[in-house]
Structure 1
Amino acid sequence: MAATNETPTALYAERAKNVLKGKLKRRGITYADLAERLTEKGAKESERNIANKISRGSFTAAFFMMCMDVIGVHDLSLET
């Protein structure tokens, strides 16, 4: 655990946030693009709401998985 008094859950939330942000960046997908793709799948998410969720790292596993799906990530390594 980090010396900043972060909980194990907070550390994993930060890791999930970084994975999602990295996948979006590598694919050149903006939050607006992600919002549009999620809306096409039936999940009405605004660009601002997505930015807030990702910034805080406070999103569900279901949201994470749906994001991975709509941006075309079908294999994910958890190796660090």
Structure 2
Amino acid sequence: MATTTKAKKTKPPKPSARKDNPVNVEYEKKAKELVKYAMSQRSADWEALANNLNALGVEITPRGLENKISRGGFSAAFALQCMEALEINLAALPR
């Protein structure tokens, strides 16, 4: 009788944290700086931006907002919401 041997399956690569990728770190820093710069241009503090975001329907506290921005790992949608809340038009986008 002939026997067959199964090929050994290789394990999938270990996932690495998104924060470990230097490119992500660089762009998260840029996103954080963009929001902070926009706030400075409008003389807005965390409370003012949080109030404006809440008016748009984004529920966040001033402290939660500060934490989110300081971590830098927020979505592009959130960055655009911040720009709208600060009344900054990044580009005339078609609606």
TM-score category, normalised to shorter length = 0.7 to 0.9
The CA distance in 2 between the partners of 1:61 and 1:75, in whole Å, is: 12
1:25 aligns to 2:50 (yes or no): no
Q: Which amino acid counterpart does residue 39 of structure 1 have in structure 2?
A: N
Shift >2 Å, 4+ stretches: none
Q: 2:69 aligns with which of 31, 54, 58?
A: 54
Deviation digits for residues 34-63 of structure 1, max 9, x if unmatched? 110111111111001100011111211111
Deviation digits for residues 4-60 of structure 1, max 9, x if unmatched? x86101100000100110110121001100110111111111001100011111211
The CA distance in 2 between the partners of 1:21 and 1:51, in whole Å, is: 10
Percent identity, aligned pairs only, is 31
1:12 aligns to 2:27 (yes or no): yes
Give 1 or 2: higher helix fraction. 1
The structure having more radius of gyration, on CA atoms, is 2
Compute the RMSD of aligned alpha carbons. Answer: 1.5
**Which residue does the alignment assign to 1:69?**
84
**Which residue does the alignment assign to 2:53?**
38
Gaps of 5+ in 2: 1-19
Normalising to structure 1: TM-score of the pair?
0.83
The CA distance in 2 between the partners of 1:61 and 1:37, in whole Å, is: 18
